[in-house]
Chain A
């Protein structure tokens, strides 16, 4: 009897220790989740030093805006480096616009000025119009901008447009849906490849990156070109990566996110 009592006591004690351990780890998990802003309570009540998250962009890349949400897209009125005055429509039009806010003084922007000189190499959805927007003549030298302006790309100098689109720094890119006049994505990057990837994520439009994906592979040019054409035709037909029609007899592999 005494032996049974001893065994029973030992089991109870062990179970109690196990339960305490489980409760403690559960409590630690809840506390960590709370610190990350999940769960009950207002994360704003946390200590200021815990709330601040150090976020630093690479040199040459502007920090993201602190305010939330996109600015309203507006048509652009500005001057050209040749002294012309222009009206550029980006809202209430059939085509989408990619506004590239660039400066002559930013080192990162040089890569974009050069990349835009070869429009055929850019991956842009068909019909998308690329517009370079620099600050106005009061902040930029028209002669320097004329020197850098890529041939065949619309360029307008307008500090007002920088304010209207709340551009935090250069380079900065804004993609505007023409028919609705709504901004579908915005952001920055060190290279066109980065920006194209960001725009593909923001808009869900794989045509920003489809050509790049083909170019990355070391295939013969004819194969890469054929693959690009097939990709573009499939996307135009609304068939995205993972579409069940691409895998007859198989279960669907998922959506476009897998691309």
Chain B
């Protein structure tokens, strides 16, 4: 089994060989693995889907922007996050870009765009709206110096990713 389709909450992608993925929407009534069933949020808080794609084994507990996973990356690893925001964000200037960027260039990435600065790594973050749904795209590279090769891999996954209306 080389290419595997992963689909949930209107986010679908085809993960190439060696890539793992997890799409989740935190349920306020049910904790995730390790939380022993404790609610993670206030019951009235609204939560939205989060997709994590990585070309390395995803740990059990990964924070929204990859904390817990990016620390494990080697030079050849990268980590992609698609994080949806609430419908109230639609039409806001931050989400004005239409469509998921699927052809990123290396000059977009910098070592200081990481959620958590890790020596040698690089990152990129942008916001967009697709299918009427506002998203943040965040990508962390295991090696900023190796960004050209890593971004080609990221673009392949982004090109295979679709978002459908709610």
Q: A74-B1, A77-B4, A87-B4 are in contact. Are A153 and B23 (CB under 8 A)?
A: no
- Nearest-neighbor residue (CB-CB) of B31 within chain A: A146
Cβ contacts B30-43/A at 8 Å (1 or 0 each):
11111111000000
Q: Determine whether B63 belongs to the interface, using a CB cutoff of 8 Å to chain A.
A: no
User: Which chain B residues numbered 1 to 26 have a C-beta less than 8 Å away from chain A?
Assistant: 1-2, 4, 6-8, 15, 17-26
Q: With A and B bound together, what is the CA distance between A155 and B34 in angstroms?
A: 10
* B35 and A146 form a contact (CB under 8 A): yes
Q: For chain A, give the interface size range.
A: 20 to 34
A93, A95, A149: which contacts B34 (Cβ < 8 A)?
A149
How would you classify the secondary structure of chain A's contact residues: helix, strand, loop or mixed? loop
* B18 and A89 form a contact (CB under 8 A): yes
Q: Determine whether B165 belongs to the interface, using a CB cutoff of 8 Å to chain A.
A: no
**Contacts of A81 on B, CB cut-off 8 Å?**
30, 32-33
User: Which chain A residues numbered 116 to 171 have a C-beta less than 8 Å away from chain B?
Assistant: 129, 142-143, 146-147, 149-155
* A143 and B30 form a contact (CB under 8 A): yes
Q: A152-B61, A154-B59 are in contact. Are A85 and B22 (CB under 8 A)?
A: yes
Q: Determine whether B60 belongs to the interface, using a CB cutoff of 8 Å to chain A.
A: yes
Q: A83-B27, A86-B20, A87-B15 are in contact. Are A75 and B1 (CB under 8 A)?
A: yes
**Contacts of B154 on A, CB cut-off 8 Å?**
none
Q: Determine whether B91 belongs to the interface, using a CB cutoff of 8 Å to chain A.
A: no
* A82 and B27 form a contact (CB under 8 A): yes
* A147 and B36 form a contact (CB under 8 A): yes
Q: For chain B, give the interface size range.
A: 20 to 34
- Nearest-neighbor residue (CB-CB) of A82 within chain B: B32
**Contacts of B15 on A, CB cut-off 8 Å?**
87
Q: Determine whether A92 belongs to the interface, using a CB cutoff of 8 Å to chain B.
A: yes
* A146 and B23 form a contact (CB under 8 A): no
B18, B32, B36: which contacts A84 (Cβ < 8 A)?
B32
Q: Determine whether A7 belongs to the interface, using a CB cutoff of 8 Å to chain B.
A: no
> Which of B15, B20, B61 has the most C-beta atoms of chain A within 10 angstroms of its own C-beta?
B20
Q: With A and B bound together, what is the CA distance between A136 and B60 in angstroms?
A: 18
Known: A80-B22, A95-B57. 11 other contacts (CB 8 A): A80-B33, A81-B32, A86-B21, A87-B22, A89-B18, A89-B20, A92-B18, A93-B18, A151-B61, A152-B60, A154-B33
User: What would be 21 A-B contacts, judged by CB atoms less than 8 Å apart?
Assistant: A77-B4, A77-B6, A82-B27, A84-B25, A87-B21, A88-B20, A91-B1, A92-B2, A143-B37, A146-B32, A146-B33, A146-B37, A147-B36, A149-B33, A150-B33, A151-B35, A151-B61, A152-B59, A152-B61, A154-B60, A155-B33
Pairs A-B, 10 closest by C-beta atoms? A84-B24, A151-B34, A82-B32, A85-B8, A149-B33, A86-B22, A154-B60, A75-B1, A147-B37, A87-B21
